[in-house]
Amino acid sequence: MEKPLDQFDWRILDAVQQDGKLSLAELSELVGLSKTPCQIRLKRLEEDGYITGYHARLNMHKVRKNYVVFIQIKLEATSRRHLEKFNAAVKKMDAVQSCHMMAGGFDYLLKVRCRNMEEYRLILTDSINDLPGVHQTTTFPVMEEVKRVSRVELSEYTIK
């Protein structure tokens, strides 16, 4: 059974989401614990699934993946079988950075990152339109990425 999180656990989560490369000494100092208890808590947070990985944030211009589009997808039908088939297929697509099932006028919102419009057109025609059950797509190219973070605010749970 998972142990409830206390202020130190929340501080650890907040710190590592801001900088996953913190040394144990730096993390310990930031959260106000000695190294051993901090290390034990960090390991427990990983094992309990609160921390699911550590990632580098790449410069999308330098890796030539700075073209972003959002695509609204309408399916032919939204039965469980149709949704499961679509979900399984879209999870296999490397170009799709995120896929969200939506309520409202369309069924899914995809975020695709690629080199340029030409590459996106190929992704759309050769992959996205071939996903199971796709009835209609609407594409919204991004003109400028104003903000991109993966951090979520946890300060409401921490006592500073």
Instruction: Please write the tens of the pLDDT for every residue from 126-137.
Output: 999 999 999 999
CATH no. for 7-56: 1.10.10.10
Q: How far does CA 143 lie from the centroid of its chain? A: 21
Contact 18, 7 (CB under 8 A): no
Q: What pLDDT, on a 0 to 100 scale, did the predictor assign at position 128? A: 97
Residue type, 83: L
Predicted confidence (pLDDT) per residue in 17-31, tens digit = 999 999 999 999 999
How is the chain split into domains, by residue range? 7-56, 67-141
Pick from 57, 58, 46, 60: nearest CA to 12: 46
Contact 9, 45 (CB under 8 A): yes
* Residue 102 predicted with pLDDT over 70: yes
Kindly report the length of the chain. 160
- The pTM for the full model equals 0.83
Residue 149: pLDDT band (50, 70, 90) is confident
State which CATH number among 3.40.50.300, 3.40.50.2000, 3.40.50.80, 3.30.70.920 fits the domain covering 67-141: 3.30.70.920
